[in-house]
Structure 1
Amino acid sequence: MSEAVGTRICVAKFGAAHGVRGEIRLWPFTEEPLAVTSYGPLESQDGTRRFEIEAARAAKDHLVARIKGVTTRTDAERLNGLELYVARDKLPPVEDDEFYHADLIGLAAVTADEIRLGRIVAVHNFGAGDIIEIASDEGGDSLLLPFSNAVVPTVDVKAGRAIVVPPGEIDGDDRGHASSPDDHAQDG
């Protein structure tokens, strides 16, 4: 039986099929892409399916993998989008100032002035970089913000919080500034 999701880390995601012999694109979330091949069998989120990587090679921005038991393009197509997990204890330990994205889930999101924004409930990546999702304590729509050093300058896992600087408050960010006709006037 698998560990609870809290003790497992999402390390990769299957992409589209590659070719006709069952190879599949594999999008690793590890610092070193090929490290994902050294963790042993990978599991689906619910732990009911296991996948063994028989071989993997680097491609442009992903890996191309051969998975045990996946021998046709149709087999590979059925796996597209499936996230893959391993037990946390199979991963290298983190330094004091490092963390896994999974460690962000549940942290309080507060501003530098200690105003609570809510709790981090997810880390997404839709292709343009990591996005944190903050659920407000009052309910309503979640806040989606880029997970960057400018927006999230401090993550303190031990204290259970992350400092969040809303984009309109970042130095040099004038997107929150409403322009007036005078802003565009030229000196005569």
Structure 2
Amino acid sequence: MLPGLEAAELPADAIEVGRIADAWGIKGWFKVLPYSADPEALFSARRWFLLPAEKGAKTFSGVAQLAIKEAKVHSDTVVASAQAVDDRTAAEALRGARIFVARSSFPSAEKDEYYWVDLIGLNVVNREGVAMGTVKELLSTGAQTVLVLEYSQDGKAQERMIPFVSVYIDEVDLPGHRILVDWQADF
């Protein structure tokens, strides 16, 4: 473990939200590449959990906890400082580290807004009660978000895509793990 980093357990609700790109400046700040266009989860979490880079040099092993002093947008990137990272050398040692935060530390979503991570795994049913599949992933096409569903037909794995727009989405029931859609199986 790097000096100053605390060994930790990854929270059960940990979500990977970005990675550390490089050092920024000489006072221990570092650049972050968030996986979301809206990095509010990074800004709201005061503790980040790090796993070593998947590729390249590994300067630490296991899970490390980082107490964040400040995270903010700077130009077209996110920069952050942490209590245990005091200089450029320490920040460079974190290059490539994967950043996780507890899902419970995400800010609350607005009405009719959802975190993609909360939609993955939900069952999708149409108005007639026909099971359409399970949300496997979401795609951003620029104009709209698209649900990618997986389902089985004649023993073969299939995919179906449904635009995630109010014209086709009747209801998202997170506690019930279900999305109700106005969509037919033969579309």
TM-score range, shorter chain: 0.5 to 0.7
Counterpart check, 1:86 vs 2:123: no
Partners of 1:127 and 1:44 in 2: CA distance: 30
CA contact (8 A) 1:56 1:66 kept: yes
**Given residue 11 of structure 2, which amino acid in structure 1 is its aligned partner?**
E
The count of residues paired between Structure 1 and Structure 2 equals 162
Structure 1 vs Structure 2 CA RMSD: 4.3
Unaligned runs of 5+ in 1: 170-175, 177-188
Counterpart check, 1:24 vs 2:31: yes
Change (3 A) 1:62 1:166: farther
Task: State the shift of 1:66 in Å.
Answer: 3.2
Aligned twin of 1:40: 46
Q: Which has the higher contact order (CA 8 A, sep 6+)?
A: 2
Unaligned runs of 5+ in 2: 1-8, 53-61
Task: State the shift of 1:19 in Å.
Answer: 4.7
Task: State the shift of 1:43 in Å.
Answer: 1.9
Larger radius of gyration: 1
Can you list the C-alpha shifts for 1:63-122, whole angstroms capped at 9, x where unaligned?
A: 22234438357545423xx3522152x345668866543332332112233221111233
Aligned twin of 1:152: 169
Partners of 2:20 and 2:120 in 1: CA distance: 24
TM-score with structure 2 length normalisation? 0.58
CA contact (8 A) 2:152 2:158 kept: no
**Given residue 59 of structure 1, which amino acid in structure 2 is its aligned partner?**
H
**Given residue 37 of structure 1, which amino acid in structure 2 is its aligned partner?**
F
Partners of 1:106 and 1:130 in 2: CA distance: 16
Partners of 1:26 and 1:109 in 2: CA distance: 32
